[in-house]
A and B are shown apart, each in its own frame.
Chain A
């Protein structure tokens, strides 16, 4: 599914009156796999908000907090990824009595994040890692071409995180993901963007970089 490139030109953002960053130029073309790196507070989530504002219609979002409705079942939370593409009547009916086809579709998506058995559990009763996977499943089910994810695997161990991330990248044409795990970013993406001190300090293909080069952007924090 092609989509127009995302272009941020001289973008700036402030949070509670404090400028988080300014003069950001960033273009992301269809088919790219981009990792956003940087210390916490560097503005990754703010940048993700800006990107979402640019292309909301084409984006499947995995927000930083899993943002689940705790009182609804896992099924309904995942189903919410496609609320906008169904009639409201169908959505209301699904709250009470889901259609078999929807249940099977959601069950399939949940199986991809190893949560097939939790279909009818209340989202609020799951562990943090499970909730994060439900949030990922919602984006998978959403299925729009650009995946925009803010720390989607932070609550999982590295092996499981890598597996989930791989499945995410399989199903979306374009992937933009904020991460703090450098080896994971190098393995799963082909372009690395590092934010620091209110600007982009590095933007390079992943194959030109290694963990050692990137480490200094984190060490500076210590």
Chain B
């Protein structure tokens, strides 16, 4: 039968097998033991607490802070992103700049910015605005490039660039830009929650202490409010409410706490803290300075960057494949043909809850239940991402035009739905790969030995120069995986399929 297999359509199959094999190999390097003595007892206590949410304990001000950080952070980020999107397609330097901005996770930005601005509103805002500017610049630029140019070509010759943009381009793309920005706001809420885990006064801060001290009723109430905010986002974040939200956010933001002398803080950060230690005192012309620099860098490379990067890749690889399996199981839950009119809303609610829960918080929770190993982080990444990919696949599955006499159940799934959606499925997964990697590095802050673990250690030793080198290594790793993912998508001829959550779906889920 081997001749039969040799003639089978290849490509998708080979790519999937390659990823599965890599994940299998990664399993050998991963520490997956359950360290907790009795995870089920912990889980029971957690669930019992979550069943009895204690809404009285939720501080309204923390909700206001959460919204304010998200509104202003995303607003700043999207505004800067729009300006950067204009030269984005033409300037390689701008593209690289934006790629570096978004390759550094919000939490890493926050840890660095804290060295300058202390634990302040500025830190929180910039930690969201900087990476979001990088993401928005890329996506806005894509939206503008994708727009229909027919109207632009028939403009009278001599039309000014601004008029041409306002008349022939912006109207076509404005809806998409607005849609994406509002969607980004939802991500902003999640980021804000996570920033609370490192000390900003958002709901995340209270959530972290509630979980840590076992006040599960309070945690349940906070989570319920948070899901409520995300679930009703379309109702209260609209173009009409934005000015009000922006002004209210400015008024409510907490006053700066911590450092007050920002100028001096910034100067010390740029000229002293992030400069590698051997360069601070040594003369640049002195060869001894450079051997000193290498002596400083070599142990970081061999003792932190290489093992940290390896663990990050291992984590991302396993999490990606578990995500894939999870999405394949979950997506029929939200597709009409598989669940019927009653089951589908329930499936959707499940997946919305799953994807609204930030990976970082899930990982934090699972680490408490299962003890420190790679297992909780893999589960957290896979649950969150499988929720997202499953939700999107379900929407595509509903968009498929089946023939009148299409089969049902598992036959429909295996012969019609999955083969038609498989290219789209791979496109989503390859796109999630770099996001899983970025997030996997961050989960090191919780104690798994990925790059974030070493960044956290360097910062707590106040060795900011080391932290910056490690973050730069994370950026390079992320960009490398992003480039690999782009190449693979081109090789599989799925580069043109939608990968953005906010993007309207095309009617057919297969390549033309």
Contact = CB atoms under 8 A, between A and B. Distances in A.
Interface in A97-116: 97-98, 100, 103
B477 to A, nearest CB: 32
Given A95-B414, A97-B4, A98-B4, A71 B9 contact: yes
B404 A61 contact: yes
B415 A72 contact: yes
B5 A97 contact: yes
Given A71-B422, A73-B9, A124 B415 contact: no
Interface in A69-111: 69-73, 76, 80, 83-84, 88, 91-92, 95, 97-98, 100, 103
Contacts of B410: 88, 91-92
A87 to B, nearest CB: 10
A83 B415 contact: yes
B124 to A, nearest CB: 46
Given A88-B410, A88-B411, A70 B7 contact: no
A124 B411 contact: no
Q: Find the residue from A52, A61, A69, A76 having the highest chain B CB count within 10 A.
A: A69
B496 to A, nearest CB: 15
A67 interface: yes
A103 B9 contact: no
Contacts of B12: 71
B90 interface: no
Contact of B409 (A69, A88, A103): A88
B258 interface: no
Interface string B411-435: 1001110011011000000000000
Given A91-B415, A98-B4, A71 B420 contact: yes
A63 B404 contact: yes
Nearest to B5: A97
A76 B410 CA distance: 15
B239 to A, nearest CB: 31
Interface in B365-423: 401-405, 407, 409-411, 414-416, 419-420, 422-423
Contact of B510 (A67, A84, A124): A124
Contact of A69 (B1, B5, B416): B416
A92 B403 CA distance: 20
A218 interface: no
B8 A56 contact: no
A103 B414 CA distance: 18
The residue in B12, B401, B405 that gathers the most chain A C-beta atoms within 10 A of its C-beta is B405
A91 B420 CA distance: 17
Contacts of B420: 69-71
B11 to A, nearest CB: 9
Interface in A13-67: 49, 52, 56, 59, 61, 63, 65, 67
B470 to A, nearest CB: 42
B405 A56 contact: yes
B411 A83 contact: yes
Contacts of A76: 415, 419
A103 B5 CA distance: 12
Contacts of A49: 404
Contact of A103 (B4, B401, B411, B510): B4
A41 B415 CA distance: 31
A84 B409 CA distance: 10
A88 B412 CA distance: 10
Contacts of A69: 415-416, 419-420
A84 B407 contact: yes
Contacts of A119: 7
B407 A80 contact: yes
Interface in B488-512: 510-511
Nearest to B409: A88
Contacts of A70: 420, 510-511
B403 A71 contact: no
Closest 3 CB pairs of A and B: A120-B7, A67-B403, A122-B9
25 contacts: A49-B404, A56-B404, A56-B405, A61-B404, A61-B405, A67-B401, A69-B415, A69-B419, A70-B420, A70-B510, A71-B12, A71-B420, A71-B422, A71-B423, A71-B510, A72-B9, A72-B415, A73-B8, A73-B9, A80-B407, A84-B411, A91-B410, A92-B414, A97-B1, A97-B5
